[in-house]
Structure 1
Amino acid sequence: MSRKPLKDPLDLLDLAVTLSDEEREIQATVARFLTERVRPHLAEWFENAHFARELAPELGKLGVLGMHLEGYGCAGTNAVSYGLACLELEAADSGFRSFVSVQGSLSMYSVRKWGSEEQKREWLPRLAAGEAIGCFGLTEPDFGSNPAGMRTRAVRDGGDWILDGTKTWITNGGIADVATVWAQTEDGVRGFLVPRGTPGFTTRDIKQKMSLRASVTSELHLDGVRLPDAARLPLAEGLRAPLSCLDEARFGILFGAVGAARDSLQAAMDYAGSRVQFGKPIGAFQLTQKKLADMAVSLGSAALLAVHLGRLKDTDRLRPEQISAGKLNNVREAVAIARECRTILGANGISLEYSPLRHANNLESVLTYEGTAEMHTLVIGQALTGHAAFR
């Protein structure tokens, strides 16, 4: 006996019933925008390593840039709505979710949380509108998982600061109008806003990437960069300031990974329904159905976990180790799903006509950035045992 197949693999567990009408409408609005303005070009942009910067004002008009922040031109949505927007963005391509995450959860959040009123008024409305682009300079060539060892230094010189150092793997770096740069000072880690064009501040885009190709990834170089004290984020004291920003970005990732997995599984389901071998669609064979069933269950579990963590965040109860659990699980499951979906597509799966292998390549970066799987494992381990095993 045959029946009508599900259109969306998330319908297996009726994810939509866990959402409010407003949350569903926000998700649908973002999905429509991506269908019209982004999806038709993704294969070309990925192949040509091109990020469509001209879409930034459109994303601003859509309201997704810093959408979970309050005031200064930001939409002020709840956390689940922001997560669902990230889900749809990454269902298109991880590069677009990365752009929105860095703009809102790293650049804008660092200003909103740790900046002065003057800094907020100067930058947040422009960043929310997509008129300006921001980036977040924390990772260094020799210090990724251990940001406390950063070598970038900021030294007092009268009423100014002099910054020297290098940051790497910085999303949006080469196109950013302002960079939030973290540096060691004699009083500990501090954050600074460095506008593009500041003497001594240069960027270099990282080429020949096999992942996140439709995204700008760069190095930031600071050579005797002189900044007034007004460029310092006055409320940011110590490493907890940049780490709080990373928690914001990781929250978007745990939803985004669900989007990449859903899009991969949707492509595999569609292909399995139309590809005929041995006289019937490959979706009618038991081995293919087992693959699809296992992936749908994993996907649904990841989506429900994301929504649950979003509800915790909306009630100010979300803890860092819970974000780690969501990021670790959902990205790990998404990588496995994207790879398995490629096998259902056979040889066609290596073509950019289909999304799973593009998602799998992108997710290799997502697995690493904003905390590797190993580091999130140790965060969870510390929560369970009370012992830090980082060293």
Structure 2
Amino acid sequence: MSEPDVGMAVGLEVEYWVIDGEGHLCAGEEIVAAHDRIDHEFVAPMVEFETPPRSDLKAVRADLREVLEAGLAAAADAGKELVPLGTPLVSETMPAISDRGRLLERLYGEGVEYAKHCAGTHVHFDKRAVPDQINLLTALDPTLALVASSPYYDGRRLAHSSRAYVYRYETGRAFSRHRDLWEYADSMNEWNDRLTGAYEELRALAAERGIDDAEFERHVEPENSVLTPVRLRLGSPTVEWRAPDATLPSQLLALLADVTTAVSALEERSVEIGEPGIEDEAVVIPTFEGLRDLTREAIVEGRTPAIERYLGALGIDSGGYVPISETIDAGEHIDRERARELRLEYAARLREDVATL
């Protein structure tokens, strides 16, 4: 694949499940210890692999291969595997492993279970043309259909991306503002006002749940109080795009190249709303109402003709992708034995994929 020189630093984070030799979820301490760019996640059977900011996507590829090879080697030494699926396929008991995680369990109640069962990918883009970057990445949300990796959640076939479906649509009205797409922003002031409002809503909810203000502020800051598909990070001054599932690294790198090329078009163009397409002076995106329809179609149905036409208008060819969700077929329901078999199967696929990077 060709990897453009994007002239903008980009970093990647991808979460993978850890399993033992029989396909059961297990903790990944040995894997985290193998490299300084591997970290614990919200629950013990999930670990995150990171790449540092790079303006050369070939360097991102090399960094990702390096950290994944270290993790895979440590996993093999411990008799464990890594699994590139957006969910563990069936429900599992997974307590939070950090003080912040335990606070979120108290705060969200049963709604936190969805986050515990979701593995995704986060891309960090250098802040440049904000809020145009925010709005374009929001409009690129339907690309998640290209890398969806689990149609199963809690043992049932739910959606093309069951991770995105439960994360956005089944957390309840009290939390939807903190998980789902936000409308396009006209200015940074508007975005910051929304973020402040969402933070204060969460603070009020924390008080209702008996969490004192000092504890809340110790673990929750405005920038991490929302888990929306697009958000701003202040500590690392980036726009963070969180739409895709975890999946095979070759698929993630292909998507990274496509999306980064689209975002790089903002160096010479502004974002406008209208008939989607890339014009000489503007990247044109649909109305937010139209986008919401496309996004739901991408989450539920996947690469439909409408999704492929839309992404094609924004310069993304869907034909080179083979989402895992299109290759997993275990009927309408899946039991724990079959889930373990599939985890082992895709752990092997991950090892093969990393070897080709």
Q: Which protein is richer in helix relative to its size?
A: 1
TM over 0.5: no
Q: Whose relative contact order is higher, 1 or 2, with alpha carbons under 8 Å and at least 6 apart?
A: 2
Larger Rg: 1
Tell me the TM-score normalized by structure 2. 0.30
